[in-house]
Structure 1
């Protein structure tokens, strides 16, 4: 089972904002992201500190302020969250997710091509195993 720290949708969106504008102070993030999402400054600070505790952000003192930067990119956060979902909710198997996607039947041509490429990659890796 994956023991990576996971983050919620709001934390992921905040991390994405910080990644796009790093390094950033709490005030910077509040002015840009917090106000746009009707969050109090204290809520933005709490979320940033939680992300720091989970290892997704670092902070460095800059005079009387802290500047936050991304230590694990958004792409890694998504992978961690997906891995935790598969482990926790699907018992470690992606088969239920694939079945859901097939039943839903609403893959775009681009999504289908991406999945087919991933399957080819998995097939290629499987051929190399003894």
Structure 2
């Protein structure tokens, strides 16, 4: 995936809505988001065009009305967004995030199982790297 400019919170929320409703007109998107975000139609249009310039959405005319669709699935963008956050906000360390999780009163059991699985995968990858270094 080519390096793209980072997405802001509003852009990500809008992209998620576009993915859910695709292909979607600005009017439909504005109606859908009216209660959630209260963004004006003009703000939504401006944000859509920023997303289009960043290569995240496409625009095509259907019966004379522009409709937007995601060019990249949000699930493909999330790892890059998380990496940007870790690098820029946490100085490249995940330790502050782990400390945050420790302070939470409750973590969903399914999410905890996923985290355990991820740690096991990381440990296996690390062990494999160490094994290759020794050779």
Superposed pair shares fold, TM > 0.5? yes
Report 1 or 2 for greater relative contact order, CA contacts < 8 Å, sequence distance ≥ 6.
Answer: 1
Structure 2 residue aligned with 1:92: 92
Structure 1, unmatched stretches of 5+, are none
TM-score (norm 1): 0.83
Question: Match of 2:52?
Answer: 52
Aligned pairs for 1:1-130 (under 5 A) are 4-33=4-33, 35-36=34-35, 37-129=37-129, 130=132
CA contact (8 A) 1:26 1:44 kept: yes
Residue by residue, what CA displacement relative to the aligned partner does 1:9-62 show, whole Å, maximum 9, x if unpaired?
A: 3222221111011111212212222x2232211011011111112221111233
Q: Which runs of 5+ in 2 are unaligned?
A: none
**CA RMSD in angstroms, aligned pairs only:** 1.9
Instruction: Tell me the distance in 2 between the aligned counterparts of 1:5 and 1:76.
Output: 15
| Secondary structure class of the residue paired with 1:98 | helix
1:63 is displaced (CA, Å) by 5.0
